[in-house]
Structure 1
Amino acid sequence: MKYWVIYPVMISDAAVLTRVPKVGPKAYKYFKGISLLDECPSQDEMTMNYDDDYPEGIKLYDILSNIRDLIVANSKVKECLDGLGVANVEYIPISLLNHKKELVSQDYFILNPLCCENIIDMDKSEYRMDPLDEGQIASIDNMVVDFEQVAESAKFFRASKKKDSFFITDDVKQAFEAAEITGYKLFEAEGWDGLDI
C-alpha cells in the first residue's frame, strides 16, 4: 500500500481562492481535525472569493487552489470518496464568488477530514517541531511512513503530528484518475520532503 500527500495545484487559468469564509470557524480550526459543521452558518454565508491577485484565474477545476492549501472540492470529488466508503470526512458547503463578488457556484465544499493517523515514523523521519503548536511538526525534510500505524480503513486523512497535511491511499488515487478529477497534485508519502513542488 502506498500513501500520497495531496495538494491543490496552481493552474494558470484556474480560479484561486482567498481566505477561508469570514463567518464560521476561525482559520486555524480547519487544520485541527475537529468537527466544524456546527460552527458553520448557511451555505449562502459561507463564501470564498476569487483572489484579485489572479485576475485571469476563472476556470473551475474539481479541486481549487487556495491560499490556505485546504482541499476545496466539488461534488464530483465527494462522489468519488463516497463511492469508496470514505468515512470521517465533513463536507462543508460553500458559495464561490468571482472577482466581481458574483455567485458562480454552490457545488463546492471544504473537505475536513476528522481521521488522524500516526503515519509519520517519528523516530526515523527528519523534521522540525512547531514551537508555537505543541505536538505538531512545523516542517519535514524526509518522511518515513509507519505503515503499521495507519488503520486499514483510513483512506483520506491527516497525519496526527502534522494535521495541516492531507493523505490519500492508492485506491483513492486510482478512483480520482479514473474519474479524471482535476486540480490536484500528489507526492508519495514515503520520502516526502514536505514541499508541494
Structure 2
Amino acid sequence: MKFFQINTIGDLHEPELALVDGAPEGMSLRAYCMSEGDPALRFYPKEAKVSLRSDHPGIKLSSLLGNTSSYLIVRADVKEVIAAHAKDIEVEYLPFDLYDHRKRLYSQDYFIINPIGTLDCLDVAASGVKIGPEGSVIHVARFVLDPKKVAPLPALFRPKEEPAVYIVTETLALALKEKGFTNLQLEPLSISPNA
C-alpha cells in the first residue's frame, strides 16, 4: 500500500490562485484546533467567515484552497470524496463563507476538514524526528512510515509527531486524482525498509 501527503499551501507558482490566511473570524485562541486535530466544533462560529489574503492578489478558486494555517480546506465535491472514504474515523466538516479582498461574499462552497486525533505511524529514526529536552517534537525532517504500523491506518490521518500534516491512503489518493481536482497536490511518502 502507498501513502501520500496532502500539500495544504497549494501551488504557490500560480499567483492567480486564491490563498487564505488565518482561521474563521471568532475562533481566536482555539484556531489551532483545526490544524492540530483537536475537536473544534464547539468553538466554531455559527456563521463562520474566512477572507482571502489582502497581500495575495489571487482570486481564482480551486478544489483545494491554499492556506498558511495548515488547514485542509476543500470544495464541497472534494469533501464528499473524502467523507465517502473516511467513514471509520472521527472527522469534523466545518463549513464557512469565503469573502474576497473587499470583504464581499465570494463562495459558500468550502469546508475545513478536521480529522480528530493523531496516529503513531512514522519510523522516527528514518523520519529524522528531533525531540526537545521536554520530550516534545521539535522537527520532522521527512515523513517515512513504519511498515509495522501501516496495516491498520485509515484513509485519512495525521501523524502524532506532526499533527498539521494530512496523510491519505493510495485508495483515497486515486479517488481524488480520478476527479481531476485542481490545486490538490499529493506527495508520495516512503515506507521504511527496516522491519
TM-score band by shorter chain is 0.7 to 0.9
Whether the 8 Å contact between 1:136 and 1:162 is mirrored in structure 2 is no
Q: Judging changes above 3 Å, is the alpha-carbon distance between structure 1 residues 130 and 75 closer, same or farther for their aligned structure 2 residues?
A: farther
Measure, in 1, the Cα distance between the counterparts of 2:186 and 2:62.
16
Whether the 8 Å contact between 1:158 and 1:166 is mirrored in structure 2 is yes
Measure, in 2, the Cα distance between the counterparts of 1:93 and 1:117.
25
Q: Aligned pair 1:54/2:69, yes or no? A: no
Q: Which residue of the partner structure matches residue 111 of structure 1?
A: 113
> How many angstroms does 1:141 deviate by?
2.1
Correspondence for 1:39 among 40, 43, 53: 43
Which stretch has the larger CA shift, 110-119 or 17-26? 17-26
Q: Which structure dedicates a bigger proportion of its chain to strand?
A: 1
**Residue aligned with 1:148, SS:** coil
> Which segments of 5 or more consecutive residues in structure 1 lack a partner in the other structure?
193-197
Percentage identity across paired residues of the two chains: 28
> How many angstroms does 1:180 deviate by?
1.1
Measure, in 1, the Cα distance between the counterparts of 2:34 and 2:132.
17
Whether the 8 Å contact between 1:96 and 1:103 is mirrored in structure 2 is yes
Please tell me the residue identity of whatever aligns with 1:148.
K
> How many angstroms does 1:151 deviate by?
5.3
Measure, in 2, the Cα distance between the counterparts of 1:68 and 1:138.
18
> Which segments of 5 or more consecutive residues in structure 2 lack a partner in the other structure?
none
Correspondence for 2:26 among 20, 23, 27: 23
Q: Judging changes above 3 Å, is the alpha-carbon distance between structure 1 residues 142 and 85 closer, same or farther for their aligned structure 2 residues?
A: closer
Measure, in 2, the Cα distance between the counterparts of 1:138 and 1:187.
22
Q: Judging changes above 3 Å, is the alpha-carbon distance between structure 1 residues 136 and 112 closer, same or farther for their aligned structure 2 residues?
A: farther
Matched pairs, number: 187
**Residue aligned with 2:4, SS:** strand
Whether the 8 Å contact between 1:7 and 1:184 is mirrored in structure 2 is yes
Whether the 8 Å contact between 1:47 and 1:95 is mirrored in structure 2 is yes
Measure, in 2, the Cα distance between the counterparts of 1:151 and 1:95.
38
**Residue aligned with 1:147, SS:** coil
Please tell me the residue identity of whatever aligns with 2:116.
L
Measure, in 2, the Cα distance between the counterparts of 1:111 and 1:135.
29
* TM-score between both structures, scaled by the size of structure 2: 0.86
Please tell me the residue identity of whatever aligns with 1:21.
P
* TM-score between both structures, scaled by the size of structure 1: 0.85
Q: Which residue of the partner structure matches residue 12 of structure 1?
A: 15
Which stretch has the larger CA shift, 83-92 or 105-114? 83-92
Which stretch has the larger CA shift, 134-143 or 31-40? 134-143
1:42-191 residue pairs with structure 2 within 5 A?
Answer: 42=46, 44=47, 46-55=48-57, 57-86=58-87, 87-129=89-131, 136-150=136-150, 152=152, 154-190=154-190
> How many angstroms does 1:189 deviate by?
2.0
> How many angstroms does 1:27 deviate by?
2.4
